[in-house]
Amino acid sequence: HPYGRTVTETDNVWFTNLSMNLNPMHFNEAYAAETEFGERLVDGTFVIALAVGMSVIDVSANATANLGYDAIRHHAPVFHGDTLFAESEVIEKRESSSRDHVGIVTTELRAYNQNDELVLSLERTPMVLKRSHAEPSAAQPTGWPEGIGTQPEDLE
């Protein structure tokens, strides 16, 4: 996926508070300093959310539903200041049995830190519009109103 993202302390504190994750490993520096990691860890569900978000541009901008997240594994801790990158590999695709205009695609999503260390893997299964029903372009991305383009010449 095209963009990496550095995880900040603010990301971790806000997400931990929003999700009510009360594990002191995420918000208590004195506690975390006494653990094997020596510092706070980034909330693992934030890492999942960030990696999935990074994949949307390539995998599910045309999704009509997310059907599941499976085989989620945290392979290494993520710390404040780590920069994460993600990639997806299609491992299965099939026609929807209930909707003619969509297909079901399963991908393996992997996230790595700045040292190319695998920190997360999961399988993600969105239901996506078929090409014949999706008409995004660089000039008119998915979700943009009709008649509004990204460049003046797109409106011709």
Domain ranges of the chain: 5-132
Is the pLDDT at 145 greater than 80? The verdict is no
Q: Which residues contact 112 (CB under 8 A, 6 or more apart)?
A: 84, 85, 86, 87, 118, 119
Query: What's the rounded Cα separation, in Å, for the pair 149 and 156?
Result: 9
- CATH class (in words) of the domain with range 5-132: alpha beta
Angle 124-126-127 from CA coordinates, rounded to 5°: 155
Averaged pLDDT score across all residues of the chain: 91
pTM for this prediction: 0.88
How many whole angstroms from its chain centre is CA 67? 15
Is the pLDDT at 89 greater than 70? The verdict is yes
